[in-house]
Amino acid sequence: MAAEVRIIGLHGLPDIKPGADLVAVILEAAQGQGVTLTDDDVLVVTQKIVSKAEDRLVDLRMVTPSAFARQVAKAQEKDPRVLEVVLRETRRVVKMDQRTLIAETHHGFVCAHAGVDESNVAGEDTVALLPVDADASARRLREGIRVKTGVELAVIIADTFGRPWREGLVNVAIGVAGIEPLKDYRGLPDTEGRVLKVTTLAIADELASAAELVMGKLDKVPVAVIKGYAYTRGAGSATQLVRRPEKDLFR
């Protein structure tokens, strides 16, 4: 295990518009800060700028809420057009009450309001959706960086999700490329020689959470470079982080 892990926030990125070349923007920011990317680095990118670059923005003025969306919005004191967008992004409503709607998205992620985001997007009448396939987004970023620099690093697309039982949101991985998101210790002996039973760590989520420490919510630090973590290379997919329904007591 490495003695030291460093997390470097990339700042000074411009506002990301639909169609923006994220690879160019990220490489420029890294260069501007004197950060040299290597194969051993993990690049963590917030979902927000990926969704913006991929034009996953919805103009609410074009949205006609259904009767159900209007009803839920009234109960939750929210914009019925936003609820309509949330329902369109929802494969299954996991739970709902007067405050929130927990959705299973079409990707299989379980999160509040299907990941539909009203903050930090351009204009009052715009919301951002999750990328259609954040693994593919991560792969495109990884490939773009490889083509321009020859560097083959790991890429994680991250978003802040709530969770049951515990207060507060934490950053988790919704897309990965070039890294195995889970680290399996099962079958290995512990420090006392006893075999570990159920220890699979969600490394990609821990890397996403670590990256959040330099990102914050209000600052324009949408990208972090993690150096010194000996990640396991692999094709990897964030779908590995989605607990299979038959293994999930809470679905």
Contact between 36 and 231 (Cβ < 8 Å): no
Task: Kindly tell me which of 89 and 140 has the beta carbon lying closer to a copy of itself.
Answer: 89
Task: Kindly tell me which of 50 and 140 has the beta carbon lying closer to a copy of itself.
Answer: 50
Judged by CB under 8 A, which of 4, 64, 67, 187 binds a copy of itself?
A: 4
Size of the site for a copy of itself (CB under 8 A): 79
Does 187 help bind a copy of itself (rule: CB under 8 A)?
no
Residue 218 Cβ, how far from a copy of itself at the closest point, in Å?
6
Judged by CB under 8 A, which of 7, 60, 116, 156 binds a copy of itself?
A: 7
Residue 40 Cβ, how far from a copy of itself at the closest point, in Å?
13
Residues 201-230 as x/- pattern, contact with a copy of itself by CB under 8 A: xxx-xxx-xx-xxxxxxxxxx-------x-
Task: Kindly tell me which of 64 and 119 has the beta carbon lying closer to a copy of itself.
Answer: 119
Question: Which distant-in-sequence residues (6+ apart) come within 8 Å of 17 by Cβ?
Answer: 52, 53
Interacting residues with a copy of itself between 146 and 165 (CB under 8 A): 160, 163-165
Judged by CB under 8 A, which of 2, 24, 132, 235 binds a copy of itself?
A: 2
> Residue 113, SS3?
helix
Rounded Cα gap, residues 104 and 94, in angstroms: 6
Helix spans in 35-133 (H): 47-53, 67-76, 80-88
Interacting residues with a copy of itself between 19 and 78 (CB under 8 A): 33
Judged by CB under 8 A, which of 57, 93, 121, 136 binds a copy of itself?
A: 121
Judged by CB under 8 A, which of 75, 88, 106, 118 binds a copy of itself?
A: 118
Judged by CB under 8 A, which of 62, 64, 67, 124 binds a copy of itself?
A: 124
Contact between 83 and 69 (Cβ < 8 Å): yes
Contact between 214 and 8 (Cβ < 8 Å): yes
Residue 143 Cβ, how far from a copy of itself at the closest point, in Å?
25
Task: Kindly tell me which of 78 and 139 has the beta carbon lying closer to a copy of itself.
Answer: 78
Interacting residues with a copy of itself between 73 and 92 (CB under 8 A): none
Task: Kindly tell me which of 120 and 143 has the beta carbon lying closer to a copy of itself.
Answer: 120
**Residue 31 CA from chain centroid, whole number:** 24
Contact between 212 and 171 (Cβ < 8 Å): yes
Task: Kindly tell me which of 150 and 168 has the beta carbon lying closer to a copy of itself.
Answer: 168
Helix (H) / strand (E) containing 96? strand 90-96
**Four-point Cα dihedral 87, 93, 95, 100, nearest 10:** -10
Rounded Cα gap, residues 107 and 174, in angstroms: 9
Question: Helices 67-76 and 80-88: crossing angle, nearest 10°?
Answer: 120
Q: Is the backbone of residue 146 left (phi > 0), alpha (psi -120 to 50) or beta?
A: alpha
